Structure 1
Amino acid sequence: MLPFRQVDVFSDQPLLGNPVAVVHDADDLSDEQMEAFARWTNLSETTFLLRPRSATADYRLRIFTPGGELPFAGHPTLGSAHAWLEAGGVPRNEGEVVQECGAGDVVVRRGERLAFAGPPLLHDGPLDDATLEVAARALEVVPGEVVEAAWIDNGPGWLGLLLRDPDAVRACRLDAAAAGDLMIGVVGIGPDGEVEVRAFCPSIGVPEDPVTGSLNAGIAAWLVGSRLPSSYVAAQGAALGRKGRVHVDVEGGTVWVGGDTLTTVVGDVALG
């Protein structure tokens, strides 16, 4: 039996954020056991806390979707840091936790709420016309509603579509077959500063992710300074009955993505 927590991320109210399943002390689990448990939970992500290999990290994290492993993801980073601290983890440096994952070391700072430093973009720049056409068709978006489009991949593979306004984001409808292996994030900005985000990733077994830290980090790296201010709050999850709120701050070129975290389930899990 291994200690287990399920943490709701990006909401200060239970059951309205994005849950992540966190297994503690997972060093002796095989890849197959981790993959099987992630399929069984059927959450957008399930994580496993292990001893760090990096001399600068407090713990190592492996992140799985129902469809496979990711090098980095945002809400699992915040939820796992919350679980590690709640279970008695003591960070090397006061005021921050350093997580080792497939994308390298990620800093999570502690304050009013946990916030991670978004990793650098691995793939950026404008989308080619063919990819843009596929992405728009997959979400039933009229091409004229796309204001701007770019690669904003910081690990999972995101591309971003900026739509004309939040209502256009809320109107998106996914055709999973048409999306293929694309990881599509959409964002709309209202005249009053309202920011609405949705994330579609059917190729990894998650048709729509409720609230998505990595995508929001990529959006900020893309649009802050041109279309978004250096500090704002994005809404995500309404289409799935959630009320996610993602707090974004860009400081000195670093994108900080923060959110409230709440433990909803504590227990032990048998993966044997």
Structure 2
Amino acid sequence: MKTLKYSLVDVFTTTPFGGNQLAVFHENTTLKTETMQMIARELNLSETVFIRPPSDPKKEKNLRIFTPKVELPMAGHPTIGAAYVLADKGILGTKEGSNEWILEEGVGDVPVTVYKENSHILKVEMKQPLPVFGEKYLNTENAAKLLSLSIEDIDTTLPIQTVSTGVPFLYIPVRSLSAIKNISFRTDVWEEYFSNNPSTKHIFTFTMETEEATSTVHSRMFAPAMGISEDPATGGASGPLGAYLVEYGVISPIENETYFLRSEQGIEMGRPSFIDISIVKGGNEFKEVKIGGNCVIIGSGELRLNQK
């Protein structure tokens, strides 16, 4: 009998029962891929992450990230949550100030910074791959139908377009907060028009109207292909969101080439989440994409396996 210990973490929040739930298995597990996938399906959280020894001893850890259906090459809230657990439990040593780590993921090396002050973890930040802008989706009628909205609810001053920093998402701009709150995602429309194209099967919607004064953008994400009906906080989609808003001039730089914004997500699900996004772009070139936030360890558990 093999016993695996894990922490249950709420990510992108400072309040228990907010943010996005995550299970972090943190004992250098060397399980088979199919076993990790079964565990993720059993726990049925949007993601489960397994911390493993790095292939390169110069790196801190290797992460394997699973939704209930698939393994992901990179994801934001599992990276932030795993780094928080590594720091909070002292698995990796931390000093006051900033701590720079490299975590191995499917997309390659992911730089992470853990900020510590007065023995408390204030924030975890991850650097994402530079954004890749994909195809524009031109059928506004299908996009509106997918969300159970009218065409008038779609903000046609901005494109419906795929952007990726590791995992592609289709970004659908919505005109108002009231419209985005009225979304009812139609899986029948998704299956017919969106599910068979890797560029359009993960759906991210946003509006520039927000509930919180400190937020820049209000977001919702739907990913039935991952086994996620709706996600309360999507770090892997928030970096590309920031790049999209910078690319189309929706937000202005705070200084020189640096842009900062905060995405609020999960409010419709009763799990408010707040994701900080920073973008560096000079001329036509993106130079850096980072996302960050805080976490709360809300519980722990054990999983017993009859296999190695």
TM-score, normalised with respect to structure 2: 0.81
Task: Identify the match of residue 8 of structure 1 among 7, 10, 28.
Answer: 10
Match of 2:271 among 242, 249, 267: 242
Give the conservation status (yes or no) of the 8 Å contact 2:110–2:126.
Answer: yes
Contact 2:130 2:289 in 1 (8 A): no
Which amino acid in structure 2 is aligned with residue 227 of structure 1? V
2:94 is equivalent to residue 97 of structure 1: no
1:224 maps to what in 2? Answer: 246
Secondary structure at the aligned position of 1:37 is classed as helix
Identity of aligned residues (%): 30
Look up the match of 1:29: 31
- CA 232–128 in structure 1, closer or farther in 2 if over 3 Å, else same: closer
Distance 2:302 2:137 in 1: 48
Shift of 1:91: 6.2
Measured in 2, the distance between the counterparts of 1:214 and 1:254 equals 14
1:174-195 Cα deviation digits (max 9, x unpaired)? 0123213210001100397741
Question: What is the alpha-carbon distance in structure 1 between the residues aligned to residue 58 and residue 76 of structure 2?
Answer: 20
Give TM-score, length-normalised by structure 1. Answer: 0.91
Q: Is the 2:207–2:217 contact (alpha carbons within 8 Å) kept by the matching residues of 1?
A: yes
Per-residue CA distance 1:53-110 (angstroms, 9 max, x = gap):
1354210001100111010111111001111222323369962221110011111112
The change in CA–CA distance for 1:104 and 1:213 in structure 2 (over 3 A counts) is: same
1:96-152 deviation per Cα after TM superposition (whole angstroms, max 9, x unaligned): 221110011111112231111122234x1442324x554432212323332221111
Secondary structure of 2:189's aligned partner: helix
Is the 2:84–2:114 contact (alpha carbons within 8 Å) kept by the matching residues of 1?
A: no
Partner in structure 1 of residue 221 of structure 2: 199
Shift of 1:33: 1.1
Native 8 Å contact 2:265 2:274 kept in 1: yes
Larger radius of gyration: 2
**What is the one-letter code of the residue matched to 1:198?**
R
Aligned length: 270
Q: Of the candidates 120, 136, 142, which is equivalent to residue 130 of structure 2?
A: 120
| Gap runs ≥5 in structure 2 | 116-121, 196-200, 253-258, 282-286
1:224 counterpart SS class: helix
Residue type matched to 2:80 in 1? L
For structure 1, list consecutive stretches of 5 or more residues without a partner in the other structure: none
- Specify the alignment match of 1:145 in structure 2: 153
2:231 to 190, 201, 209: 209
Quote the RMSD (CA, aligned, Å).
Answer: 2.2
The alignment partner of 1:227 has SS state of coil
